[in-house]
Amino acid sequence: MLNAITLLLVFQLAGEVIARGLGIPLPGPVLGMALLFVALILRGGPGKNLQDTANGLLGHLSLLFVPAGAGIMLHADRLASEWQALLAALVISTLAALAVSALVLTFILRRRGSGS
């Protein structure tokens, strides 16, 4: 497990260094994920160690958003004065993005399926 955690941190650090060094507008961890993905392709898959640690971390992924989520209390004033517009924009655009993505992908996959 210690090996796997170290590996994840090394990839995160590499992502951070590359993103800042080359001025890429992506957070280090996202670039680290891409690097690890490429490494897994080259190596032909994760070992059991990494597989178990990844499952453990991702099993409670929601927990990791709680501290940032509580930060909403810092914006009570702006949320109070503009809450109708912000709430409507958030609700409508999220529903629209979910629906458009689901419908477009289903449509293309179905056309492809019937075409072949």
Partner 1 sequence: MIRHDFTGLWVYLSASPLLGLTLTLVAYLGAWQLHRRTGGHPLVNPVLIAVLALVGVLWATGTAYETYFDGAQFVHFLLGPATVALAVPLYGQIQRLRAMAIPLGVTLLCGAATAIMVAWGTGALLGASEASLISLAPKSVTTPIAMAVAEALGGLPSLTAALVIMTGIFGAMVAQGLFRLLGTRDPAVQGFAMGLAAHGIGTARAFQISAETGAFAALAMAANGLLTALLTPWLLPWLSRWFA
Binders of partner 1 among 45-64, rule CB under 8 A? 45-46, 50-51, 53-55, 57-64
- One of 22, 23, 48, 71 touching partner 1 (CB under 8 A): 71
Distance CA 5, CA 22 (A): 26
Is 113 near partner 1 (CB under 8 A)?
Answer: no
14 to 43: interface string for partner 1, x by CB under 8 A: -x---------xxxxxx-xxx-xx-xxx--
Question: What is the SS3 assignment for 87?
Answer: helix
Burial 48-72 (b: 16+ CB within 10 A, else e): eebeebeeeeeeeeeeeeeeeeeee
**Residue list 74-93, contact with partner 1 (CB under 8 A):** 74-75, 78-79, 82, 84-86, 88-93
Distance CA 8, CA 66 (A): 21
- Closest CB 108 distance from partner 1, rounded Å: 4
The residues, any chain, with a CB within 8 Å of residue 40's CB and separated by 6 or more, are 46
Is 108 near partner 1 (CB under 8 A)?
Answer: yes
Q: Is 84 or 114 the residue whose CB approaches partner 1 more closely?
A: 84
